[in-house]
């Protein structure tokens, strides 16, 4: 039996779900966001520190499905060092990819390891899981800049 879920649960995702890169609440930090998906109970608390318009550090704590945890882990691996504007572009690119229902071509250059989540696009109900950490960062960046 071929695995109908292979597109969803890529090796990289399962591996990140265990590794949990960047887990832990950093100090000091410029903004913190707590987000929750009420349908399934997934939660994330994410902190970000900025320096010179770049993401200097990012840490998170959370619980949830493998998709949501892996996506936080991938984000934590990729975000540090990014300019805030670039981070926004990536977040938006991931959102578009995931909402495409499989119609969009992933931009590997731009997304890096996050392309592993391309398969989520064909599972609309998991899009929120994959976006949770990224939306938390998006909101944290707004908050950090507003201060």
- Applying CB under 8 A, the residues found at the interface with other proteins are 3-5, 8-9, 14, 17-18, 36, 38-43, 63-67, 69, 123-126, 129
Q: How far is the CB of 131 from other proteins (least distance, A)?
A: 14
The DSSP annotation for 15-78 comes to HHHHH-TTBS--SS-SEEEEEE-TTT--EEEEEEEEETTEEEEEEEEEE--HHHHHHHHHHHHH
Nearest residue (CB) to other proteins, 8 versus 48: 8
> To the nearest whole angstrom, how small is the minimum distance from the Cβ of residue 84 to other proteins?
27
Nearer to other proteins, 4 or 28 (CB): 4
| Nearer of residues 67 and 136 to other proteins, judged by Cβ | 67
d(CA 119, CA 5): 9
Q: Residue 26 or 40: which CB sits closer to other proteins?
A: 40
Nearest to 44 by CA among 109, 122, 144, 134: 134
Nearer to other proteins, 86 or 138 (CB): 138
Residue 52: asked if its preceding bond is cis (omega within 30°), the reply is no
**Minimum distance between the CB of residue 103 and other proteins, rounded to whole angstroms?**
15
CA–CA distance, 124 with 101 (Å, rounded to integer): 7
Minimum distance between the CB of residue 64 and other proteins, rounded to whole angstroms? 6
**Shortest distance, CB of residue 60 to other proteins, whole angstroms?**
16
HSE (side-chain half, CA atoms, 13 Å) at 93? 17
């Amino acid at each position: 039996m071929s695995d109908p879920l292979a597109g969803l649960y890529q090796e990289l995702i399962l591996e990140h779900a265990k590794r949990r890169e960047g887990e832990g609440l950093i100090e000091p930090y410029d903004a913190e966001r707590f987000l929750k998906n009420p349908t399934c109970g997934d939660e994330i608390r994410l902190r970000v520190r900025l320096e010179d318009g770049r993401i200097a550090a990012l840490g998170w704590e959370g619980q949830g499905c493998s998709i949501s945890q892996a996506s936080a882990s991938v984000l934590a691996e990729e975000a540090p060092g990014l300019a805030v504007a670039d981070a926004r572009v990536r977040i938006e690119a991931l959102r578009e990819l995931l909402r495409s229902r499989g119609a969009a071509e992933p931009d590997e250059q731009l997304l890096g390891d996050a392309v592993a989540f391309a398969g989520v696009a064909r599972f609309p109900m998991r899009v929120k899981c994959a976006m949770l950490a990224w939306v938390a960062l998006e909101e944290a960046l707004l908050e950090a800049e507003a201060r």
